[in-house]
Amino acid sequence: MQRSVLGPCPGPVLGPVLAALAAICFAAAAPASDAPYAGQQNRTIASLSDADIAAITAGEGWGLALPAELNGWPGPAHVLYLAEPLALSDTQRAVVTRIYGLMRAEAQRVGSQYIESERALDAAFGDLGLDPIVLAGLTVRATNALGELRMIHLAAHIETRQVLSADQVVQYQALRGYGGQGTHGAHGDHAGHGK
């Protein structure tokens, strides 16, 4: 009699059936790390969650400006939110409001292009005859849109820091929880002149 991991095989038909059932059970019991994308196959766009799409559509930062934020370059949205504790002057508030408005409008425009490029890339994989040259064009288009979107957010941090005094930048970092401890490059000599 044949032996398997399930014990003696009762017959030529039942043995494979039990082996298949065991494989299904083992697969179902597999750790989540073996299936990190499970459930994402129903997304509207494979590479973007609904929350990602909503954030990009709204012109939100989406984490794209972390190199600026964590290196001591304040973002306009957060500066406006912290206007009172930062003691922004009327002029500073007006300038940062303008920076934020322009950034958000551009981020929404380019974000829409990025979403559509990801949608086109996703749809292309519905074609089993996808041509590598077409794939290259779609990938470059999506990558360029994402790069432009990131540049918009990063540039707004540069403009915003130039509006603040060195003391306001230090206070911003403390209010945001960076407080000089491990701030990834908060150098007071980079601070703007304040207005």
The answer to whether 177 touches 82, Cβ cutoff 8 Å, is no
DSSP single-letter state for residue 184: S
> How many degrees, rounded to 5, is the angle at CA 78 between CA 156 and CA 117?
50
pLDDT computed for residue 41 by the predictor: 83
Judged against a pLDDT cut of 80, whether residue 20 lies above it is answered with no
Confidence of residue 88 (pLDDT cuts 50, 70, 90): very high
Single-letter amino acid, residue 28? A
| 187 has pLDDT over 60 | no
Q: How confident is the model at residue 180 (pLDDT cuts 50, 70, 90)?
A: low
Mean pLDDT computed over 156-167: 98
Band the pLDDT of 193: cuts 50, 70, 90.
very low
The model's pTM: 0.75
Mean pLDDT for 51-64 is 96
Would you say 106 and 76 are in contact if contact means Cβ atoms under 8 Å apart? no
Mean pLDDT of the chain: 83
CA 16, 17, 19: angle at the middle one, nearest 5? 60
Predicted confidence at residue 87, as pLDDT, reads 98
Q: How confident is the model at residue 42 (pLDDT cuts 50, 70, 90)?
A: confident
pLDDT tens, residue by residue, 91-128: 999 999 999 999 999 999 999 999 999 999 999 999 89
